Structures are given as C-alpha cells and as structure tokens.
Amino acid sequence: MKSLVTQVAIIGAGPSGLLLGQLLARQGIETIIVERVSPEYVLGRIRAGILEQGFVDLVREAGVAQRMESEGEVHDGFEIAVDGQRTHIDLKRLTGGRTVLCYGQTEITRDLMEARSESQLVTYYESSAVELHGLQSEKPWVTFKCRGVSHRLDCDYIAGCDGFHGVSRQTIPASARKEYEKIYPFGWLGLLSETPPVSEELVYCKSERGFALASRRSRTRSRYYLQVPLTDKVEDWSDEAFWDELKRRLPADAAEQLVTGPSLEKSIAPLRSFVCEPMQYGKLFLVGDAAHIVPPTGAKGLNLAASDVAILFQLLKRAYRDGDVACVARYSEIALRRVWHAERFSWWMSSLLHDFDACQVNDMDSEIASRFTASELDYYLNHEEGQAVIANQYAGLPHESII
C-alpha cells in the first residue's frame, strides 16, 4: 500500500472540490483530491451556470477568473412569464446593484482543473474502493485504489465534495444524521442546442401546459427545459416534439423568434429537495450535493455549494493560520442557515411556477389552491415589494464572514 500525507483530503473533483482545493492552496494549505471518475467524465456533465456574486468573488480569490470574466455574460435581471404575460425582474435595481453571471459550470470546472494541473497539485482520478476512516479521531485517513495500486492518505480533515451518491455522507452513521427529503412529482427535460438563445435573459414560464425555462450557455448555444411527468423517458421525446411543445409554453412573441436545431444533448432530471443534518461528523465536512439538493428552479445548486466552500475555507484558514482549531466545529451551524434559506426559496419558486396536484401539495381544495397561487403571483410580480423579495433571493444572499 502506498502511503500519502496531506493536510486536507478532498473527496470529489467537481467544481466545489476543485474550488476548495484551489483556495486552500493559495493559503499554503496542502490538499489531495480523490475522484471516482475520469476528468473527461466530470467535464461531460451538463449543468447550469448562473453564478451569484458570492461565487464569482470566490473564483476571483482562487485566481482562476480570467476566462470567466472575459467570456461570461452579466445578467442584470430575468423574466417570469405567466400565461404569456412577461414580467422583468430587475436584479440590479431591486438589489442595489447585484447581478448574476452566465458562465457554464463545465467551463468553471475546466478552468479549475487546468489551474490545479498548472500548480502541480495532486488529484487521483478514476479511484475506486474509496473509504473514510477515523473520522472522530485526531488524524483521519482515506483508503482507495488507483490504477491497481492501493493507497492510504493520512490527513487532518476530510472535505466530502462527492455529491449525493458519494461515499462521504454514507460514511456518517445513520444514527448520527437526519435527512429531510421531498421528491417532486415531475422532472425537467432539458435540451442543449447550437442555436442562438430566444432571449438575452432567462425566461421562466408558467403555462396551462406546464413549466418551461428558456436558458442560455452563450450567444450561440441554448439550453431549454420542459416540465414532464416522471414516467416520461428521453426516447419518448424527439427533437421536433420538444420544440413544438416548447413553443406552446413560451410567450407568443418568444415562440415566433425561437430558432430550433438538432439537439446536442437531451436528458431528464428529477427534482428533489434534500438536506442532511448535521453537515459535519468529526473531521469530515459535507460540501454541496453531498449534504443538500435543491430543485433547479432559482439556480441555487452550484451557488449553495460555493457558499459551503466559502465557509469551510474561512474556518480551515483560521484553524491553520491562527491555530483556532475549535472554530471548525461551527461549520454545520453556519452552513445550514444558508442551506435552509436556499431550500425554501427553490421549493417556493418551484411550487409557484409548476403544475402540481393541488391536493397533494397544499392539502386543500384545488380551486382554493389555484386562487392562492394567483394571489401570490399577483403580489410578487405586480408589486415592487414582491419583486424585490424574488430579486434578493435570486441574486443570492451575501456570504457570511467568519470572524
């Protein structure tokens, strides 16, 4: 068995693991990343890329913002269309100047991978049999196999950035964690195409036929989504059927301008709200999807992971720089405050814009439920106070500073 030693072992080389590693490296804190799949597989995951200011600032602090700032598109707002009537949510005006940046998660991951490689920081890709040990001890360790060789990695702390299905959360004894979960009765069918976006900004659409989202990756590449039943399969939807249904759900003026083309990728993503408490167990810290999942409505997933990274980075920096080892025990308490804010916003926005069985969701007569929804839409879309609530949540709450 090959012996390795580092200060922080990071499980998972997605954007949260890579970002944490880069931030720690710039503070002189050693890391080794262990990843289950290949770099190509990681980069092949199609994900959204609406970045809050807090995420953008972290990428700058990590020293990998050059391409993001030259190629990313600043969005001052977005639209919500209800039965064809469009309402612009002016983020910049309603939040006192905050905006979001459109830059694909794949591109962020690529930038972070290249920066880690250029800095000659160690990452073990295509690792198997990953196990975490001694989490309640002073010196935990990780065992894994890579290219036929068994490894033991001794460390001070372990950051579990390995996603919902990863080993990190599952290593915490069931008796020591509580999990909250809500499965939504539909999914998002997404289509990626090499076509110009139908709008300069994102358009969230509520219609009698169901929810749709007109998103973008760049000025020449688009990503569109349709709400579909969980029973649907990707092969049920030809490109032609997708475009026809999207046109029915978009506002009429947008549908007329829609440019269609062959799909580069199609997939169906189920929607769930999930939180694991606590987010730490001894020397293990859960980060991002390992600890929580939010519906994609509201673009909180990647940004919430970045918030976890920001908190853990500050605590580890304080532990190593100032010798305040006790401060790391605050991670879960601080992170969960923001997690539940984002979970509630994503649930609320999903509930407002999607087609639900009213009895299942609200446990009340469907007619009265529809009246309540109409009242909410009227307040939040037609009154500036309501729009400001949406804008501040969408643009992202400020990252907490750990004093």
CA 234 vs CA 87, 277, 402: distances in Å: 31, 34, 45
Helix (H, G, I), strand (E, B) or coil at 110: helix
Q: Which of 307, 296, 309, 300 is nearest to 393 (CA)?
A: 300
**308-317: buried (b, 16+ CB within 10 Å) or exposed (e) per residue?**
bbbbbbbbbb
Q: What angle do CA 80, 104, 258 make, to 5 degrees?
A: 45
Strand pairing of 203-207 and 210-216? Answer: antiparallel
CA dist 132 and 166 (Å) reads 11
CB distance 294 to 46 below 8 Å? no
Say which DSSP state 299 is in.
Answer: S
Q: What angle do CA 76, 105, 181 make, to 5 degrees?
A: 95
Active site residues: 75, 204, 296, 300, 394
CB atoms near residue 172 (< 10 Å): 20
Are 226 and 249 contacting, i.e. CB atoms less than 8 angstroms apart?
A: yes
Going from the C-alpha of 335 to that of each of 257, 307, 308, 312, the distances in angstroms are: 43, 7, 6, 9
Task: Compute the radius of gyration of the chain from its Cα atoms.
Answer: 22
Provide CB contacts within 8 A for 318, sequence distance 6+. 324, 327, 402
Within a 13 Å sphere around the CA of 48, how many CA atoms are in the beta-carbon half? 24
Q: What is the 3-state secondary structure (H, E, C) of 80-92?
A: EEECCEEEEEEHH
Q: How far apart are CA 121 and CA 110, in angstroms?
A: 15
Rounded Cα distance between 255 and 239, Å, is 16
